[in-house]
């Protein structure tokens, strides 16, 4: 996996659901050891952005690298990336 000074790089991310644009032209980077927060109202695209960084969604436009690789790389990136949302969304019988 290539080395990079940025742990997460998001370049011109756009995510659409049909004609609805959830995220438009978002660019940022997070370096190792930095804390980064996404703030916004309901429907602002925070969860869509995080799901795209994790590799669960494909961006409509733009590029994302995580730890120097594609977030969808199931062998190199996905085992090292996780997300914890504010609300518990686990089944009650797990």
Q: Flag whether pLDDT at 82 surpasses 90.
A: no
The answer to whether position 37 is within a domain reads: yes
The residue-averaged pLDDT of 30-37 equals: 88
The answer to whether position 89 is within a domain reads: no
- Whether the pTM exceeds 0.85: the reply is no
When divided into structural domains, the chain yields a total of: 1
Q: Pick the residue with more confidence: 38 or 78?
A: 38
Q: Which domain holds residue 28?
A: 6-80
Written in H, E and C, the secondary structure of the chain is: CCCCCEEEEEEEEEEEECCEEEEEEEEEEEECCCCCCCCCCCCCCHHHHHHHHHCCCCCCEEEEEECCECCCCCCCCHHHCCCCCCCCCCCCCC
The residue-averaged pLDDT of 10-25 equals: 96
Average pLDDT, the chain: 85
Whether the Cβ atoms of residue 73 and residue 28 lie closer than 8 Å to each other = no
The answer to whether position 85 is within a domain reads: no
Q: Pick the residue with more confidence: 89 or 75?
A: 75
The fraction of the chain above a pLDDT of 70, given in percent, is 84
The answer to whether position 88 is within a domain reads: no
CATH number of the structural domain spanning residue 57: 3.40.50.300
């Amino acid at each position: 996996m290539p080395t990079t000074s940025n742990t997460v790089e998001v370049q011109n991310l756009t995510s659409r659901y049909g004609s609805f644009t959830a995220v438009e032209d978002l660019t940022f980077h997070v370096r190792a050891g930095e804390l980064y927060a996404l703030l916004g109202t309901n429907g602002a695209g925070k969860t869509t952005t995080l799901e795209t960084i994790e590799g669960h969604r494909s961006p409509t436009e733009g590029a994302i690298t995580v730890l120097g690789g594609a977030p969808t790389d199931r062998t190199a990136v996905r085992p090292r990336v996780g997300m914890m949302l504010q609300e518990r969304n686990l089944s009650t019988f797990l």
